[in-house]
Amino acid sequence: MKQASILILKKLRHENGLFSASKKDVSTGYNMAWIRDNVYECLGLEKSEKLLVTQTYQTMLDIFLKHENKIDSAILNPPKNKQDYLHARYFPHNLEESKEEWGNKQNDMVGTFLFKISDLTQKGLKIIRNQNDIRILQKLVKYLDSISYYRDPDNGMWEEKEEIHSSSVGACVAGLKKLKETEFNKTMIYVPEELIKKGMDTLEVLLPRESVTKKVDLALLSLIWPFEIATKEQAKEILKNVEENLVREKGVVRYIRDSYYNENGEAEWTMGFPWLAIIYRKLKNQKKYKFYMNKSLSCQNKSKEMPELYFAKSQKHNQNSPLGWAQSLLIVAME
């Protein structure tokens, strides 16, 4: 069963290692490669496909190197408009950013990348090739400092309204903390302790809320896993809020009154179930792990794919199937 999911996930992969968010020929734009999605898509292959995962991360480094001038510019002059921020989505074949107007101001993308490249390096993967890679990692730290990530309203994980999001600030805090303790080819990246503390101070004020306007959001699960940045008490509150307000029959709603694919109610995202299963396994709650594992398996369509979402109170899903991110989380939950 797990092997079938791995094969489904690998079909989304391009020769250079990048993953499309969904099938390569889908007409929704999900043929593009998101940095965040690529990090999450690699999670399911981390144990079985280390060389493939290494290549994916090296290609993501190539994206940042290709757009180094943009990073330099943002370091020198904090961006005034969102087009000057690093983009989160790229064409898989030429690593060019999309020029389309959309919610591309996603600070969590940088934090998520820094967190996982550090984590995988600590686990022994030889991702860093040379001083260019080390240089760009150092510049990403300076970039987060320049944009003042801890007080910078961004579009967040869901690419929507600009607000200060706990999930975005938390991703950056987790990335900076993990980076600070990681040795890359006998080189330590300099991360100011004050830069981490400023993010922690923001989280202290915001959590367990996602933002001023959102009490509960599926994105907050990232602060429990993989980032492990929420305290025990915060994690308990986040889980309680998610389970009481967002869990549905075929998935987990991203947040109350979500308008994306809203037909007679908020769309139900399949990734939520394996995410909850993984968290409850980490918490050693076998009963809830099994419950959400069974819910995860029930989300698969006839092709054993994990679609992005099901329409509210229905057995009908949208055309983004599989969503690589959801398929990957299912693999992790099955391990």
| 289 and 329 share one domain | yes
* Residue 232 and residue 282 in contact, taking contact as beta carbons nearer than 8 Å: no
Residues 187 and 257 in one domain: no
Q: Which of 229, 264, 280 is the last residue of a domain?
A: 229
* 153 within domain boundaries: yes
How many domains are there within the chain?
A: 2
Residue 104 has pLDDT above 90, yes or no: no
- Whether residue 192 is found in the same domain as residue 48: yes
In a domain, 192, yes or no: yes
Same domain as 5, residue 47:
no
pTM (2 d.p.): 0.97
Residue 221 domain flag = yes
For residue 236, being part of any structural domain is answered with no
The answer on 207 and 101 residing in a single domain is yes
84 and 146, same structural domain? yes
Query: What is the domain range of residue 273?
Result: 1-11+246-335
Quick one: 165 and 269 in the same domain? no
Same domain, 125 and 197: yes
Per-residue pLDDT band for 98 (boundaries 50, 70, 90) equals confident
Q: Which one of 229, 257, 285 terminates a domain?
A: 229
* pLDDT tens readout for residues 233-252: 999 999 999 999 999 999 99
Q: Are residues 331 and 303 in the same domain?
A: yes
DSSP state of 152: -
Element of type H or E holding 255: none
Residue 163 lies in a domain: yes
- Indicate whether 66 belongs to any domain: yes
Residue 186 falls inside a structural domain: yes
Task: Tell me the pLDDT tens digit for each residue of 280-304.
Answer: 999 999 999 999 999 999 999 999 9
Same domain assignment for residues 162 and 303 = no
Q: How far apart are CA 89 and CA 269, in angstroms?
A: 20
- Name residues whose C-beta falls within 8 Å of residue 243's C-beta, 6 or more positions apart in sequence: 276
Residues 247/266, Cβ–Cβ less than 8 Å: no
Mean pLDDT value across residues 277-282: 98
DSSP notation for 26-43: -TTSTTSEEHHHHHHHHH
Mean pLDDT value across the chain = 97
| Residue 168 resides in a domain | yes
Alpha-carbon span 303 to 326, nearest angstrom: 14
